[in-house]
Copies of this chain bind each other. A is one copy, B any other.
Amino acid sequence: MKYRLGIDLGGTSVKLGLVNPARKIVLDSSLPSGGVLSAKELVKNIGRVAKPMMKGRNIIFVGVGVAGDIDSKKGIVRVSPNLNWKNVPLKSLLQKELGKPVVIDNDANVAAWGIYKTQMRPTVQHALVLTLGTGVGGGIILNGQVHRGYTGSAGEIGHMNMLENGRPCKCGLKGCLEAYAGGANVVKYAKIGLKNRKKSILNGLKITPLEISKAARKGDAYAKSIWEEVGHMLGIALGDLVYIFNPQIIVLAGGVAQAGTLITRPISRELKTRPFKTPVQNVKIRIAKKAHNVGIIGAALLAP
């Protein structure tokens, strides 16, 4: 049987999984990535964990997802702030270490690809995936392929400008989508509201997107208003994306997306205000199924 090795290379840990032809993980493992290791040291450590997993099996391919600015074509990690890397030729380092063909890509593309390959129908050709985690990542699937653009930088949907001089974003600009729909900012502004004496059962709780959702489902007006605002801003952004890409489906993934209908309802309401009906009526907005291994599977499936 032919296996693929998927690697999800994050700022604190490396997750590895052997993926079978049915797109299931049959064996997985992990190791710390830390910020103190050089790329060469980390690749050695990955080899120590991966080689025993690969031994005696027909491994056709290794795929890797990395957070950062990735040149997928050349196989280079241009910049990864989480790993403290610059211009690391990760593809060739790993090929040498593991003796298999390697493809690398950024984590948002890999997550989108994993969700596309495991949660969408094969008839879907044009899809967008927004990962609403701490930040907001985007992956664009067109004609059944990841659209990476000229330098592999495409898909920065989280930093679309929503409002000039709007909320500050950690990227340094103001008014990015992430500043309204990223989990860290949702929590930050929820807390600001509570400090400003908003009445809510959230008072005194540790605020997380999940807690805000729970409170909203219990009917808490303040919690509901938080998701209304997030959904409203997402609705404006998705309206632009629907007009631009005319996709069949937009899937929302990540912790914030678990708010479910609390955000999809205001999104749909916003989309319905758009006057060009054909693209709006022909797009589905869906919440991704929870799948914490989507980074491994997406990476494993990067090559055909």
Contacts and interface: CB of A to CB of B under 8 A. Distances in A.
Contact of A279 (B154, B239, B244, B275): B154
Contact of A150 (B240, B248, B275): B248
Nearest to A143: B143
A276 to B, nearest CB: 6
A173 B272 CA distance: 11
A159 B276 contact: yes
Interface string A147-171: 1111111111101110110000001
A243 B157 CA distance: 7
A142 interface: yes
Contact of A247 (B143, B150, B275): B150
A13 interface: no
A52 interface: no
Given A161-B240, A276-B69, A150 B126 contact: yes
B151 A278 contact: yes
A149 B125 CA distance: 9
A78 to B, nearest CB: 6
Contacts of A122: none
Contacts of A236: 161, 164
Interface residues of A, number: 45
A160 B244 CA distance: 8
A282 interface: yes
Contacts of A278: 69, 78, 151, 153
Contact of A244 (B156, B164, B282): B156
A274 interface: yes
A149 B78 contact: no
A62 interface: no
A245 interface: yes
A246 interface: yes
Contacts of A153: 243, 246, 276, 278-279, 282
Given A140-B244, A240-B161, A273 B150 contact: no
27 contacts: A69-B278, A78-B278, A142-B147, A143-B143, A147-B245, A148-B246, A150-B247, A150-B279, A150-B283, A151-B278, A151-B279, A153-B243, A153-B276, A154-B244, A154-B246, A154-B279, A156-B243, A156-B244, A159-B274, A160-B240, A160-B243, A160-B244, A161-B239, A161-B240, A163-B163, A171-B276, A173-B274
Interface of A: 69, 78, 125-126, 138, 140, 142-143, 147-157, 159-161, 163-164, 171-173, 236, 239-241, 243-248, 273-276, 278-279, 282-283
